[in-house]
Structure 1
Amino acid sequence: MAKRIDFHHDPDAPKANSLVPSVNVIVTNDAGDLLMIHRTDNDNWALPGGAIDLGESLPQAGIRETLEETGITCEITGLSGTYTDPGHVILYTSNGEVRQEFSIALTARPINGEPTPSNESRDVRWVPRDDVLTLPMAASMRMRIKHYLAGTGRPHIG
């Protein structure tokens, strides 16, 4: 099975050979729980998201990726932050691609649907905000969630 391996400021990380704009979506329900997926490619928990396709806007990509990975249709409500750290690269073992991080985190609310796993997510669930950081996840994902939970009202730019 193809894997995704995240390297965060690791001197032994492979050199980036691509840059792909992507989106993560922080979907929260009325109780304040976060919609999380248990990824199949690295066994970590993460926010739903993925690459932005040609001809697609950032909000369209966020809505599409969330639905594909979780079974939840959402409405985009805001911007949580930008994440473009060249010290964070992702190796895709299927093709040797090494992406430099370029992700925009949006906020959203659920419109309909039930948490449903996909070929990219072995589990999908609403996680209480007080418990979300106890899940195993990549350092960059943890940072995105911490910035959101800090609740400053201003997007993180990084």
Structure 2
Amino acid sequence: MSMPTHIVAVGGIVENELGEILLVKTFKGGWVFPGGQVEAGENLMEALIREIQEESGILTVVDQLIGVYSNTGMYKGHDGVTDVPTKVMLDYVCRPIGGALATSDETSESYWVNRDKVLEMITSPAIRTRYEAYLAFDGKVAYMAYETKPEFTVSLSRKI
């Protein structure tokens, strides 16, 4: 029996002093909060700071873990061929400390959005659910297991 390989990803909900949330528009998935896969040799904080800066131009500090998510569907790994059984995502609240809004080879727009308008812009059920966990954060970390294909289905949701 071979050991499973997991994709580890991080997401950053960046809120500025005006109560606005940083969103980026991806070429394939619409509006999302920035984040992405942790690369070999990177720690989670380095990966998140890098992803946010790459996708939006904004420099950040990571403040608080707010969510842990398991997407238990089968997906293709980095090589586009190998099946990867689970994607583990960790969401953090982050604070902007510099930079300027920019785009990247993954994003066509970056924008500060009033926190009450964010759900009007996010169409992905998984991203919406993770943002709702941020809005409901009460000091306990949200944990959720779900699949996104063929449709968004939650199998476990609790606070830990």
TM bracket (short chain): 0.7 to 0.9
Separation in 2 of the partners of 1:35 and 1:103?
18
Separation in 2 of the partners of 1:47 and 1:157?
18
The structure whose RCO (Cα within 8 Å, separation 6+) is larger is 1
Q: Structure 1 vs Structure 2: percent identity of aligned residues?
A: 31
Counterparts of 1:1-158 in structure 2 under 5 Å? 19-40=6-27, 42-87=28-73, 95-96=80-81, 99=84, 100-158=86-144
Separation in 1 of the partners of 2:49 and 2:32?
16
Separation in 2 of the partners of 1:44 and 1:18?
28
- Calculate the aligned-residue CA RMSD, in Å: 2.0
Of Structure 1 and Structure 2, which has the larger fraction of its residues in strand?
A: 2
Number of equivalent positions: 139
3-state SS of paired residue (2:98): strand
The one-letter code matched in structure 2 to 1:34 is: I
The one-letter code matched in structure 2 to 1:54 is: A
**Distance apart, 1:131 and its partner CA:** 0.3
Q: TM-score, normalised by structure 1?
A: 0.79
Separation in 1 of the partners of 2:53 and 2:90?
17
1:73-99, CA deviations, whole angstroms, 9 ceiling, x for partnerless residues? 000001010011315x5568x935665
3-state SS of paired residue (2:135): helix
Which ranges of structure 2 fall in alignment gaps of 5 or more residues?
Answer: 145-160
Which ranges of structure 1 fall in alignment gaps of 5 or more residues?
Answer: 1-16
